[in-house]
Amino acid sequence: MAVVKIPDAGGDSMTLVEVDGHFFPKPPIQENPIDVIKGIRDLPIREDDVFVCAYPKCGTHWVWEMARLLLSEDTATVINKEKFMIEFVGNDVLEKLPSPRILNTHCLVEQLPRGVFEKKCKIIYILRNPKDMAVSFFHHHKKLSKIYEYDGKWENHLSLLMDGKVDYGSFCTYLKDWAAIGETHPDVPTLTLVYEDLKEDPLAGIRKLAKFLNAEKSEEFYLKVKELTSFNTMKEKKGSFFQADDGSPVMYRKGEVGDWKNYFTVAQNEAFDKLYKENMGDCDINFRYTLK
């Protein structure tokens, strides 16, 4: 296994897996993670496959559950989305899943299975303001101690993130890669959902998602989906799938907009804005860092 230890400025290291120059988390599976990751491009794809894609900590669990409920109409079953994550699960297992499969990933566009573009699968892409993402990613790395073995401080973790030395690499590279999908793959149907918009008006996002998936339902069902995908409900029903050493749920910490203000110093905020401007100046994404 190509396991690497990435040190931060404080001397704490993060454990990752490196494959072809890209960093991935050490997956909680029995299979060889390198074989799984290297097999992603060759995953046999079906025409009705749906992909939920986002940089880590941007709402993948949330939107995946919305899509699952809309397509299956099964409001009773509780499912761990990691069982449908293409960089965690081998192709032989994914091939046994019933259709329609709602697969999810944090990979770049170029790393997706080839069949996604050949069969023009629907892709749901999620954006979240990168400052809240940074805070959430910090806690994610700290709490999943058995995977990342990381116990660093906020300021040193932020530097790692800004340098792209975390799983899935630079968030700037990721954002630019996905922002260009309309040009690189214009015939692939893609819906972009914004985390902050979903927080402000989840019903509007659910309706938009249902229309994109050709799974329009009654307003009563949309209200049920809103209830089942609320932060508190998902934390209660799914929080036990990934727990920190203290028993707290890793994937459901706060889910708020604007929590970054409790972490970023003035200097850190200025450095982050400078990095973003230098790397993303030609990429027109207007993030909201607070809600009214």
Q: Residue 110: how many CB atoms within 10 A of its CB?
A: 8
State which amino acid sits at residue 282: D
d(CA 41, CA 43): 6
Residue 233: which of 43, 15, 65 has the closest Cα?
Answer: 65
**Local structure of residue 262 (DSSP, 8 states):** G
- CA triple 17-19-22, angle to 5 deg: 85
Residue pair 74/228 in contact by the 8 Å Cβ criterion: no
Q: What share of the chain is helix, strand, coil (3-state, %, to 5)?
A: 45, 15, 40
Of 22, 61, 106, 157, catalytic = 106
Alpha-carbon distances, residue 61 vs 75, 81, 258, 279 (angstroms) = 16, 7, 19, 28
- Work out whether the CA dihedral 241, 97, 51, 4 comes out positive or negative: positive
Cα dist from 187 to 123, 124, 170, 194, whole Å: 11, 14, 26, 22
Specify whether 106 is catalytic.
Answer: yes
E-assigned strand segments in 31-81: 50-53
- In a 13 Å sphere around the CA of 8, the CA atoms on its Cβ side amount to 24
User: CA 180 to CA 191: how far, in whole Å?
Assistant: 13
Kindly list the catalytic residues: 106
